[in-house]
Structure 1
Amino acid sequence: MKNEEYLTKEKFDEFTKELAVLKGTRRKEIAESLEYAKSLGDLSENAEYHEAREAQGTIEDRISKLEELLKTANIVSSNTGDSVGVGSSVTVEKDGKKFVYSIVGSEESDVVANKISMKSPFGQSILGKRKGETFTFKAPSGELSYKITDIK
């Protein structure tokens, strides 16, 4: 599998807004912090200056990562097909209990919100499966099997 990234339209929009804030407001704040820190004198022992430079590096790294991600990501809408794909909301059953998961790209995975990365063992095992099929994957606790009861 290539190192492609998939984003929902909502996550793409969220990252676009974050990038705008970082490039606008945050860059300006960091520049002001650097100017203030420089005005304090000796840069070799100036904690404020070193903190501002570190924050600047962190922000520039994030800007670079977001720009690359937004430029190259595949935007997906909710998958309404017969098989599980990125963007699908899938209901699965295990031991009589039902769980609903969304299959997403790795940049927006969030286990607490039941958003499972397509690159995770669960995600890789469920991709392409259809309603009624059972799939098994290896988890740290051992092999787990689920039955797909619905795909939206």
Structure 2
Amino acid sequence: MAGEPRPISGEARRALEQELADLRAERATVAATLGGTDSPGDAADQADELQRANQLERLDDRITQITDRLHESASAGLPSTDAVGVGSTVTVRFADGTVETVQISEMAEERAHTLVTADSPLGRALLGHRAGDTVGYDAPDGPSTVTVLSLGEPSEDT
């Protein structure tokens, strides 16, 4: 299962696409500052050139990672509505009775308050569970439980 393509949420896809656009713009700016002179310059100029070349390499590596992840998710199709996985939209009822719809994501996003990362305590606990399951997890305030109400669009019980 580790080698299978993994879907991502729409929100995570948009965040990756925005990061990719930002990285490509930054790469173009850095690349424009490289080379262009035949004179070797002093040691400070050479060090600066090396630093920009290293930055360009890091940008290229991240661009490749994001591009590969976007291609992988495209071939994975939509997130499952049978069991919770990365990319799933899940409506849950917490132990205190509050109901919330969250998306399971592989990365945290500053602007998305309803995302739960797959490696967070709640995210790890939800993975693989189905509607109707009650799941225990370690919350910041101590052990807690959550009940999976539905997968997919928000539950009518909210």
Q: Same fold (TM over 0.5)?
A: yes
- Do residues 48 (structure 1) and 48 (structure 2) align? yes
Structure number having the greater helix percentage: 1
Uncovered stretches (5+) of structure 1, i.e. residues with no partner: none
Question: Helix, strand or coil for the counterpart of 1:7?
Answer: coil
Cα pair 2:104 2:123 within 8 Å, conserved: yes
Identity %: 24
Q: CA deviation at 1:33?
A: 0.9
Please, what TM-score do these two structures have when normalized by structure 1? 0.67
Question: Helix, strand or coil for the counterpart of 1:60?
Answer: helix
In structure 2, how many angstroms separate the alpha carbons of the residues matched to 1:37 and 1:137?
A: 59
Uncovered stretches (5+) of structure 2, i.e. residues with no partner: 154-158
Cα pair 2:7 2:78 within 8 Å, conserved: no
Q: Please, which moves more after superposition, 11-20 or 129-138?
A: 11-20
Change in 2 beyond 3 A, CA 1:110/1:58: same
Question: Helix, strand or coil for the counterpart of 1:116?
Answer: strand
Per-residue CA deviations over 1:30-49 (Å, capped at 9, x if unaligned) read 2221136876822x322532
Matched ranges for 1:1-150 at <5 A: 2=2, 5-9=6-10, 11-12=12-13, 15-16=16-17, 18-19=19-20, 22-23=23-24, 25-35=25-35, 41-42=41-42, 44-46=43-45, 47-73=47-73, 75-77=76-78, 81=81, 83-85=83-85, 86-104=87-105, 106=106, 108-110=107-109, 113-139=113-139, 141-150=141-150
In structure 1, how many angstroms separate the alpha carbons of the residues matched to 2:17 and 2:109?
A: 19
Change in 2 beyond 3 A, CA 1:114/1:38: farther
Aligned residues: 147
In structure 2, how many angstroms separate the alpha carbons of the residues matched to 1:110 and 1:144?
A: 24
What is the RMSD computed on CA atoms of the aligned residues? 3.5
Change in 2 beyond 3 A, CA 1:8/1:148: closer
Cα pair 1:102 1:116 within 8 Å, conserved: yes
